[in-house]
Chain A
Amino acid sequence: MISFIGRSVIQKIITLFFVSIVSFLIIHIAPGKPSQVDPMNPKFTPEVVERFRKEFHLDKPLHVQYLYFYKNLFTGETVSWKDNQSVLKKIWERFLNSLPLFIVGTIITWTLSFPIGIRSAIFRGQFYDRSATFLSYLLISIPGFFFAYVLIIFVVNQFHVPVIGMETFGIGDGASLPHIFMDRIWHLLLPSVLGATGGIAVLSRYVRSQMLEVEGQDYIRTARAKGLPPEQVHYKHALRNALLPFVTMFGLILPGLIGGSVIIESIFSWPGMGRMAYEAILARDYPIILTVNFVSAVLVLAGTFISDLLYLIVDPRIRL
């Protein structure tokens, strides 16, 4: 066990190192320079641009820039080129904004997918199954922003309530606490549902196939044969064993924390991670792009690590 943990931690660190190199190279080799360095503004003279380059260490060779950047990152000194704010602080702020969206989205995905998936496995090939299949694929087949606009226009025109932003603008003054809380929940509803559609479709399909696989096993036949009520067979015997792989998926949802959806966040004016990263790309704000990338890589690796561990703990067949 210990050796497994040690080995995989070392492996992950090496991977992380390569990720950092690759992302650094992608960004620095690509054409286009930070907007501060290369603006279309008559006020920027070559001397000013030169000074910016120096300040950002852009005049140094690549490997030196690399060292500078990661040294600053680990000492927490990295600052955004756009506004000189600490990158870690900025990311933390945005992270807190994205977190509720992520949590509600995940809860919706997981609570809805299981009943849908299990039922369509039970009623396999019947009308319920087919319509569930159809619906879940329908949801992931709509271009996200098209769906979002249609939903927003529908809700706003029908119910005359605001849907964009993290809360109704200006609600802070004078409203009671539950009011504010519920208002926030309402504003979470549409974006998180939109974010969850893909997840629901994929996960419910996965639940269905897992259930089907398990239902084909001999011990289920035995259970049926000995006269257990079908409900008990499905929900007790089959479900438990079908659940096993999902334990590992808990680890894999971690990266979703940072991925966020650029599109949904910009349509809903949600000041989250995705939007910040997107704007950073447009402005070539390298420190932000690289840090977001690094943090998300750490999350992915941590996620796989956790899921490996969980699998070890849950599945008695695996012994190291």
Chain B
Amino acid sequence: MTIRRVLILAPMLLILFLLQSYFWVPTYEEQTKGNPERLNEYIAGSIGDASLLNPILTADSASSSIENMVFEGLIDRDEQLHFRGRLATSWEVLEEAFFYINKNASIPGLAKADPQDVANFLRKATKKKNTTAPGLKISLDHITSISVIPARNYSVTRQIKGTDTGEQKKYIKISIAAPARIKLVLNRVDQDLFQNLSLFLGKDYFASFHGENYLSTDPVLKKERSAKYAGELLPATEHNPFLMFNLRPGVKFHDGHLFDAYDVKFTYESIMNPKNLSPRIADYEPVKSVTVIDPLTVKIVYKRLYSPAIGTWSMGILPEHLLNHNALKKEARLLGKDPNTFSMRQSSFNRHPIGCGPFRFQEWKSDQYIILDRFDGYWEGPPNYKKYVFRVIPDRLTQEMEFYAGTIDSYDVQPHQVKRLEKDQRFQSFSGTAFGYTYIGYNIRRKPFDDPRVRRALGMAIDMNKIIKYVLYDQGERITGPFVKQTDYYNHNIKPVPYDPKGALALLEAAGWKRNKEGWLTKDGNKFQFTLITNNGNDLRKAILAIAQDAWKQIGIDVHTDLLEWSVFIQERVNKADFDALILGWQMGIEPDLYQIWHSSQTNPYQLNFVSFKNKEADDLIIKIRQEYDHDRQVEYCHRLHEIIAIEQPYTFLYVGKWTAVLDKRIVMKTVDDAGQIMYEKIKPTKTGNYSFYFNKWIKLPEAPVFMDEG
């Protein structure tokens, strides 16, 4: 019976056919040991794919890990976290400072305040050997030149945003009769300059300058409105710090084009171009101008004191010749799109990037892999690996299996896996402190979290050391404040909150909370209860959620927990400040700028100080820190700020994670010295928050080498 035979044979044949394919597949052994080419490629496993490969358009970690390979910035941080030059060979931080001549104020010891006289008066002061105030002396010593900008008249037109009333856009014309101005050039940045100068120019010399007296508006505006414009157009004093970068000559992009100062300017302009919707725009907003002095020198002037600005120039530099206006227009025409609306976001460059980093882009298959080849023309000498492969494996378990089989060289190892893999003879592992910390934040707007004693008691009830030991498998450290632990901004004198449930109860009792018959804490008849929330998808946070709930239950607090999907969590709860307490983490930059997260002006909805931490002294310090360019003084301010935060405990600082890398023992660092001698070194961790600092020197050897120090 044919039908019957077909019906039985067909599935059998199908199954046989499918199963025989097994014999064609290379085993793991063949792929790793049996494949000598494998030694020349480094394969990194990742959970998610990159979105776009353009450093100015993306902010996600997967994309930036590739961008760091393909693009190069002007500077970056060395292993001790100091700046070092990349595309820039050297740089200087200088300042130009301005102030308007105040006709109404009198200067002690100077009858008539003619601009020239003021300048001469200052010049004389700088030459004087001994001045009474020591701060003033230092400030004066750093002034290199003094000049006068004559008075001038001009006018500008401003648009009023028709915000609340929805009226038509209105334009106002502002005529300005700017008085003469003194320009000071300093050889360092000095935020106390004007404060010190006022010591001998007269206490109110700067404060009594009212810009609104020098401008008239059409139509006439209310006093506050015009004062606002005056503050913007005629500030009594102005700091203009600037950066001079000397660029490295002879650096080439992957397509052979020479890199020069115009590329730097272009990168800045692309970020600021509203059409590109760059997420980095906030970093560069303080920039006043970028000027190309010559093809290898670029001057960046800032509108105000903003010390974190230097760090922003580690941003990858884009090739101007491929992305400028004409190039984009050409591409738009080629694709048949409207050249006027076509922006860098649509360009195919974002999927075929060209930079001047150590690796050149080769191929990208969405959600599968990105392949980079080494760039032989790299200015620091080509990397040892021939290929860098970024492989997307969305599942952690299969990632681990692939790693174990040797088909990926690294992946984001979870703490419990480190424990197991460390024991394996085939692997080396090293770890270091990461830059991100995890915390429990309390909504200080709400009772009883407005009491620092309560916040401290809550922290004392949680046994952090136990969490670090058992949940993180020692892949974490205690942290006491918001600075990167391995920098000197971090105040190591501050002791972490101890685990002390009894002490916590005593503190709570002092705050009025007593245990009732059932063991719950109550105050004025109200039970101590609140909801602790966090986002889902993060197993560590989920574990801490359960642990904190349990720990607080032990001291009589009734805690509900909630796990929310990330975007709902942020949108509905964090941004609207609709929470009691939450578990979250911050990824810190090395720069100690805490303005957005800790300043009291940032407590409105949608801002990042969502716990509503407000402290006058802290506010001052935060401003001072971001205006200070001197490292030692910054450190001093940071230590004090750290203390305040530790006392106030707006967060319970839980831990700072450790990054851990587990790598095949055969991967080592290879360097060639001047004599041509090849040397192998063990890979060492650096402070930089990732292990791949010396990645360009890495190579995989056929056999694991034995190092002397291992004994």
Contact between chains at A169 and B369 (CB < 8 Å): yes
The interface-forming segment of B15-23, B190-198, B618-626 is: B15-23
Q: A149 with B31: in contact, given A32-B565, A183-B25 (CB under 8 Å)?
A: no
Contact between chains at A93 and B394 (CB < 8 Å): no
Measured in the bound complex, the distance between the Cα atoms of B139 and A40 in whole Å is 40
Contact between chains at B24 and A52 (CB < 8 Å): no
Q: A269 with B398: in contact, given A161-B28, A236-B3 (CB under 8 Å)?
A: yes
Interface residues of B in 261-289 (CB under 8 A from A): 274, 277-283, 285
Indicate which residue in B17, B597, B606 contacts A42 across the interface (CB closer than 8 Å).
B597
User: How would residues 159 to 188 of chain A score, 1 for a CB under 8 Å from any chain B CB and 0 otherwise?
Assistant: 111101110111101000011001101111
B244 close to A (CB within 8 Å): no
Q: Which residues of B contact A317 (CB under 8 A)?
A: none
Indicate which residue in B7, B274, B366, B608 contacts A114 across the interface (CB closer than 8 Å).
B7
A194 close to B (CB within 8 Å): no
The residue in chain B whose Cβ has the minimal distance to the Cβ of A155 is B22
Measured in the bound complex, the distance between the Cα atoms of B283 and A43 in whole Å is 7
Contact between chains at A39 and B402 (CB < 8 Å): no
B493 close to A (CB within 8 Å): no
Measured in the bound complex, the distance between the Cα atoms of B567 and A231 in whole Å is 62
Contact between chains at A186 and B21 (CB < 8 Å): yes
Q: Which residues of B contact A189 (CB under 8 A)?
A: 18-19, 21
Contact between chains at A166 and B59 (CB < 8 Å): no
Taking the nearest CB of chain B, how far is it from the CB of A78, in angstroms?
13
Interface residues of B in 522-539 (CB under 8 A from A): none
Q: Which residues of A contact B283 (CB under 8 A)?
A: 43
Contact between chains at B401 and A83 (CB < 8 Å): no
Indicate which residue in A112, A156, A166 contacts B368 across the interface (CB closer than 8 Å).
A166
What is the number of contacts between chain A and chain B, taking CB atoms within 8 Å? Answer: 176
- Chain B interface bracket (under 10, 10 to 19, 20 to 34, 35 or more): 35 or more
Indicate which residue in A55, A83, A118, A236 contacts B51 across the interface (CB closer than 8 Å).
A83
Contact between chains at A45 and B19 (CB < 8 Å): no
Interface residues of A in 260-300 (CB under 8 A from B): 266-269, 271, 275-276, 279, 282, 284
Contact between chains at A170 and B21 (CB < 8 Å): no
Contact between chains at B14 and A51 (CB < 8 Å): no
A107 close to B (CB within 8 Å): yes
Contact between chains at B1 and A84 (CB < 8 Å): no
B570 close to A (CB within 8 Å): yes
Contact between chains at B570 and A115 (CB < 8 Å): no
Indicate which residue in B51, B394, B407 contacts A82 across the interface (CB closer than 8 Å).
B51
Contact between chains at A168 and B1 (CB < 8 Å): no
The interface-forming segment of B99-107, B322-330, B571-579 is: B571-579
Q: Which residues of A contact B392 (CB under 8 A)?
A: 269, 271
User: How would residues 1 to 45 of chain B score, 1 for a CB under 8 Å from any chain A CB and 0 otherwise?
Assistant: 101100110110010011111111111110100000110010100
A152 close to B (CB within 8 Å): yes
The residue in chain B whose Cβ has the minimal distance to the Cβ of A156 is B401
Q: A43 with B279: in contact, given A162-B25, A183-B24, A267-B395 (CB under 8 Å)?
A: yes
Contact between chains at B568 and A32 (CB < 8 Å): yes
B345 close to A (CB within 8 Å): yes
Q: Which residues of A contact B279 (CB under 8 A)?
A: 39, 41, 43-44, 48
Measured in the bound complex, the distance between the Cα atoms of B351 and A93 in whole Å is 15
Q: Which residues of A contact B574 (CB under 8 A)?
A: 40
Contact between chains at A235 and B4 (CB < 8 Å): yes
Measured in the bound complex, the distance between the Cα atoms of B405 and A207 in whole Å is 43
Contact between chains at A42 and B366 (CB < 8 Å): no
Taking the nearest CB of chain B, how far is it from the CB of A268, in angstroms?
8
Indicate which residue in B25, B367, B608 contacts A275 across the interface (CB closer than 8 Å).
B367
B456 close to A (CB within 8 Å): no
Measured in the bound complex, the distance between the Cα atoms of B354 and A191 in whole Å is 37
Measured in the bound complex, the distance between the Cα atoms of B350 and A258 in whole Å is 28
Indicate which residue in B11, B277, B389, B566 contacts A282 across the interface (CB closer than 8 Å).
B566
A126 close to B (CB within 8 Å): no
Q: A271 with B277: in contact, given A160-B29, A179-B24 (CB under 8 Å)?
A: no
Measured in the bound complex, the distance between the Cα atoms of B15 and A115 in whole Å is 14
Contact between chains at A271 and B274 (CB < 8 Å): no
Interface residues of A in 104-139 (CB under 8 A from B): 104, 107-108, 111-112, 114-115, 118
Contact between chains at A31 and B572 (CB < 8 Å): yes
28 of the cross-chain contacts (CB-CB < 8 Å) are: A31-B568, A32-B565, A35-B567, A38-B570, A38-B575, A42-B597, A51-B277, A108-B14, A111-B10, A111-B14, A112-B11, A149-B397, A152-B401, A159-B27, A160-B27, A160-B28, A160-B29, A168-B26, A169-B43, A170-B38, A170-B389, A173-B37, A179-B24, A183-B24, A269-B392, A276-B367, A279-B48, A282-B567
In the A-B complex, the 8 residue pairs with the smallest Cβ-Cβ separation, listed nearest first, are A182-B24, A32-B567, A271-B367, A186-B21, A185-B21, A111-B11, A182-B21, A32-B568
Q: Contacts A83-B350, A164-B393, A282-B567 given; 17 further ones with Cβ under 8 A?
A: A32-B565, A35-B567, A43-B282, A44-B59, A48-B282, A82-B51, A84-B52, A159-B27, A160-B28, A162-B31, A170-B389, A186-B24, A188-B18, A235-B4, A266-B395, A271-B366, A276-B367
